[in-house]
């Protein structure tokens, strides 16, 4: 019972951060007509994430096609 009281007290008295509402800022940013696609409007982090994803997709496609080609070739007898 003592453990339960301690755990409830810890949870209930934990410091609660007050997060400011940044939705209006983000709406302005993403609705701005600056010629950028929506997946790049977040800045450098979005661009890095996009390029990494695109690179991994291209590498994975090449890898899959290579092994598809290798598995379709008959093996040479020894």
Could you report the per-residue pLDDT of 40-55, keeping only the tens digit for each? 898 999 999 999 999 9
Q: What is the DSSP letter of 40?
A: G
**Per the structure block, which two tokens stand in for 60?**
């994975």
Instruction: Tell me if 30 sits within 8 A of 41, measured CB to CB.
Output: yes
Backbone angles phi, psi at 46, to 5 degrees: -65, -40
Phi, psi of 66 (to 5 degrees): -60, -50
Find out whether 51 and 40 touch, Cβ atoms under 8 Å.
no
Residue range 18-75, pLDDT digits in tens:
889 999 998 999 999 999 999 889 899 999 999 999 999 999 999 999 999 999 998 8
What local confidence, expressed as pLDDT, does residue 10 receive? 55
Q: Is 15 exposed, middle or buried (0-12, 13-18, 19+ CB in 10 A)?
A: exposed
List of E strands, the chain: none
């Amino acid at each position: 019972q003592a453990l339960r009281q301690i755990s409830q007290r810890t949870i209930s008295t934990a410091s609660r951060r007050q997060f400011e509402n940044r939705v209006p800022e983000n709406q302005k940013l993403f609705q701005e007509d600056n010629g950028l696609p929506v997946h790049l409007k977040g800045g450098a982090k979005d661009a890095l994430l996009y390029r990494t994803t695109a690179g991994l997709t291209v590498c994975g496609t090449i890898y899959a096609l290579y092994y598809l080609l290798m598995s379709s070739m008959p093996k040479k007898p020894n």
